[in-house]
Structure 1
Amino acid sequence: MESIPLSSLFIALAILLVLSAFFSGSETGLMSLNRYRMRHLAEKGHRGAKQAEKLLGKTDSLLSLILICNNLVNNAAATIAGMIGLQLSGDAGVAIATGLLTLVMLVFSEILPKTIAAIYPEKVGFSASHILMPLQKLLRPLVFLMNLIIRGLMKVLRIRKSEKSGLSSEELRGVVLEAGRFIPTAHQDMLVSILDMEKVTVDDIMVPRNDIGGIDIDDDWKAIMRQLTGAAHARVVIYKGNMDKSILGMLRVREAFRLMLERNEFTKEMLVRAVDEAYFIPEGTPLTTQLMNFKANKERIGLVVDEYGDIKGLVTLEDILEEIVGEFTTSAAPTLDEEVKPQSDGSVLIEGSANLRDLNKLFNWNLPVDEVRTFNGLILEHLEKIPDEDTQFTLLNLKVTILEVNDNVVKLAKVEPFNPTSSSNTE
């Protein structure tokens, strides 16, 4: 050993330290790669991405290759460091050299390269793949033997390799939210809304039964014309006497006016003949399912019915799309801005028709939405009676004052954060 010049030993040690840093950094870089971006780059023809994808396709073989090479390099470095220490200071020098090598390898061959690789995974991972790919072919027999031993040990320990699974809805939401500058905020909101649609049903967005603008064919002709002229949707419900028991169908408003222009005389019988069959939607249908049903049935509007066949509300294709892209300015229904009026004293005036889900989103509240959909419904459920005007009560952590009640419905209420000192007047 003394015949080997110190200069050669130091050069060999430096090379081994560089190799150790390479293998440590390449492991971190490859394992930190964004798999979806890597696949996208590979499909575009990026050579480094293609090779990295092949290597990561067999992660166990890749890790075996890197660890075999890294351990061989580290052991060789320890041997050479011992030889250097022996030549410089005898037996004591071996111990000193081992201690110094441990410190140097920890800083320059482990922490530093892994930190750099974690910050720049693509640069490190894609570059390292050019070297690891041929190295994997060269050491394939050794890697195969190591994997064979590991599989045998796993079988003895009854450890099963987990099957690969796709991202869950919550994990996909995390990916979208963490995309940051790569996805515009508006697109981010739309993607999150699509993921949320699985939890939302037609009951959450439907126009309530009392607000459906149906036309009773038994009404006089002037009343029918007024309702057709002021129709909120492209189609209106036509019924006879009772909407729940005698629905004739859905009338296309544009078609009705076209027929009126073509004929000198237009009667109720002609109006009924122009009616299309009504499309019904079971209550509780998820929005994702209903969106596909609208597409499959080539429908744009439907009536939500309960288990007894009674009408609960009306849902349109536009209502579902608004859940994704936000409210359209052409919507005839009142917007949340119209139903909610913040006051200078910190309180909020809320109309009873305001949707609870929208209120929770706007104010970060946790109002229950399982049984009722509107603020009026929640108040009635909480009080178990129709309140009088000026009634005050606490709802969760909110102080509610009823301002207007009409037709057994709470039309307007004042809401402010609950102040314990003012609770003496509450019900």
Structure 2
Amino acid sequence: METAEAATSFWPIVITGIAILVLLCLSAVFSGSETALTTAKRGKLHSMDGKGDRGAGVALKLIEDKERLIGAILLGNNLVNILATSLATMFFTVLLGEGAVAIATLVMTGLVLVFSEVLPKTYAITNAETMAARVSPLIRGVVVVLSPVVNAVRALVRTILGVFGVSTDPEAHFLAAQEEIAGAIALHHSEGAVEKDDRDRLLGALDLGQRRVEEVMLHRREIEMIDADLPPAEILAKALESQHTRIPLYREDPENIIGVLHAKDLSRAVHQLGLDSRESPADFSELNIEEVAMEPYFVPETTPLDEQMRAFLLRRSHFALVVDEYGALHGLITLEDIIEEIVGDITDEHDTQKSSGIEPNDDGSVEVDGGVTIRDLNRDCDWSLPDEEANTIAGLVIHEAQAIPNAGQVFSFHGFRFEVLERENNRLTRIRVRKLL
């Protein structure tokens, strides 16, 4: 009789013990899955998916809605942890009596901490993408099953947060893709894995969509032009003297651009003129410059650089004139100008050697031409001056001073000291900049 009673009480204890172990294993899966799916790099998952790993594809879809994913995992993890703790309390109470609650608490805390939290999360951190791909089919099922409860919890949480004036955007992502990539590049640079030049090129390519044509164009006062009404021989001489391949042609007013003269087209026309007049000296007065010139291509100053680069490639053109909102000539931009924003200055054998406009001093300060862009100064000196309100150093000083300073005036803002060295009319031509400690 006693043997039968002992057997009857033995199996429930064994089954309870097995259930506790199974629940601890499920808790470990939930904890590891949460870490793996939230730390896995989408780029690696996408690459794995492209190689035929279906689990990676499922993981990518789960990550698209992280709020629902984390809600389902946390709900499942809490359910199995609470159930395991309750069963453990019953298990130790049967074995040790009423005073076993404290023992059950200590034992379950140790087991959950080591085997259901630290161990699986440590593994997930070191093998995030692999584990994410393996557990994603299981977690997808959990998300589907628990979605009604998770959606109710999400609605309740948003309601409570709304009472305290905190608004939530259900469609918001934790980080935009561009910010995520830029942050990764900056992190690897700070750790020494990415060189400064490589970092600048990568960030320059990422920033093209955030920057506009007016930020990199050549200002109209610096544009080299030729008067179309000059004698053809003189136009030819000016074109040969120029270091530029493409030169705008104007008539009467520099604002009235009638065409763009390409050196190669001009050479062909001159060569043909020589062939047509072999028996007598070539008469350059017969050269029709307007027929040789290309039709000018105008673009708005607000065009993003990435769009303008695509437009250049589509048109098979490298040169555009920039106009403001009133249609007035503002400057010019070339494909080379855009590429230089990625790789830095490009020079060839016909370019004259010119200063960058940035001259470092022994005391740590830098003397800068007023027309130097804030981006170029930041890039050269590894600084972080803001360029939201102004494009050039002179523009930044004028914006912060709310006036056009005179030579000798000194200002401090954004953690830097600015001293105006030279001013010509209404332009600041030379500024000394020093970072404050």
TM-score, normalising length: structure 1: 0.74
Q: Which structure 1 segments of 5+ residues have no match? A: 420-427
Matched, 1:235 2:246: yes
CA separation of 1:273/1:166 partners in 2, compared to 1, >3 Å: closer, same or farther?
Answer: farther
Distance 1:358 1:215 in 2: 30
Selected match of 2:318 from 296, 300, 306: 300
Specify the SS of the correspondent of 1:244: strand
CA offsets 1:216-250 (integer angstroms, 9 cap, x no match)? 234456643342113333211112332124x3311
AA aligned opposite 1:311: L
Matched, 1:317 2:335: yes
C-alpha spacing 1:28/1:286, structure 2 compared with 1 (3 Å): closer
SS of match in other structure, 2:348? coil
Whole-angstrom distance in 1 between the partners of 2:396 and 2:31: 61
**How far has the Cα of 1:174 moved from its partner?**
2.6
> What secondary structure sits across from 2:303 in the alignment?
coil
Return the letter of the residue paired with 1:300. H
Structure 2 unaligned regions, length at least 5: 160-166, 275-281
Write out per-residue CA displacement over residues 93-134 of structure 1, whole angstroms, 9 at most, x where no aligned residue.
34433443234323432344334424432343334347667x
Aligned residues: CA RMSD: 4.5
Structure 1 378/262 Cα, relative in aligned 2: closer, same or farther at 3 Å? farther
Evaluate the alpha carbon distance shift between residue 208 and residue 377 of structure 1 in structure 2; reply closer, same or farther with a 3 A threshold. farther
Task: Report the CA distance between 1:194 and its aligned residue.
Answer: 3.6
**Matched residue count:** 403
Match of 2:260 in 1: 250
* Alignment-derived partner of residue 417 in structure 1: 434
Counterpart of 2:421, as a letter, is T
Q: Does 1:178 align with 2:184?
A: yes
Q: CA deviation at 1:161?
A: 10
- Residue 196 of structure 1 corresponds to which residue in structure 2? 207
Tell me, yes or no, if the aligned pair for 2:404 and 2:426 is still in contact at 8 Å.
no
SS in 2 for 1:359: helix
Number of the residue aligned with 2:277 = none
Give per-residue Cα distances to partners, 1:330-362, cap 9 Å, x unaligned.
397788853222223434333344334423443
Q: Distance in 2 between matches of 1:65 and 1:412?
A: 61
User: CA 1:99–1:400 in structure 2 vs 1: closer, same or farther (change >3 Å)?
Assistant: same
TM-score (norm 2): 0.73
Deviates more, 1:57-66 or 1:294-303: 57-66
CA distance in 1, matches of 2:266, 2:349: 21
Counterpart residue identity of residue 236, structure 2:
M
2:420 aligned residue: 400
Structure 1 range deviating more: 309-318 or 212-221? 212-221
Query: Which one of 367, 379, 393 corresponds to residue 349 of structure 1?
Result: 367
Structure 2 letter corresponding to 1:346: G
Inter-partner Cα distance in structure 2 for 1:331 and 1:378: 36
CA contact (8 A) 2:20 2:88 kept: yes
Question: Offset at 1:50?
Answer: 4.2
Deviation at 1:303, TM superposition (A): 1.7
Deviation of 1:253 after TM superposition, in Å, equals: 1.0
Quick one: distance in 1 between partners of 2:315 and 2:158?
A: 51
Aligned-partner SS, 2:331? strand
Separation in structure 1 between the aligned mates of residue 138 and residue 157 of structure 2, nearest angstrom? 34
Instruction: Name the CA distance, whole Å, in 2 between partners of 1:253 and 1:49.
Output: 54
- 2:114 aligned with 1:97: no
Structure 2 CA distance, aligned partners of 1:190 and 1:417? 25
User: Could you say what secondary structure the match of 1:178 adopts?
Assistant: helix
2:10: which partner in 1? 4
C-alpha spacing 1:305/1:331, structure 2 compared with 1 (3 Å): farther
Asked if the contact 2:389/2:399 (under 8 Å) is kept, the reply is no
User: Is the Cα contact below 8 Å between 1:393 and 1:400 reproduced in 2?
Assistant: yes
Write the deviation string for residues 41-93 of structure 1: whole angstroms up to 9, x where unpaired.
12211254245456667875896588457735752564255334432x32223
- 2:66 is equivalent to residue 46 of structure 1: no
Contact 2:369/2:429, CA 8 A, preserved across alignment: yes
- Alignment of 1:37 with 2:44, yes or no, is yes
Structure-2 change in CA distance of 1:168 and 1:226 (3 Å):
farther
Secondary structure of 1:415's partner? Answer: strand
Equivalent residue letter for 1:348: V
Residue 8 of structure 1 and its aligned partner are, at CA, apart by 8.1
| Contact kept? 1:214, 1:236, Cα under 8 Å | yes
Contact 1:29 1:125 in 2 (8 A): yes
Shift of 1:201: 2.2
Secondary structure in structure 1 of the residue aligned to 2:28: helix
C-alpha separation in 2, matches of 1:345 and 1:188: 27
Match of 2:271 in 1: 261
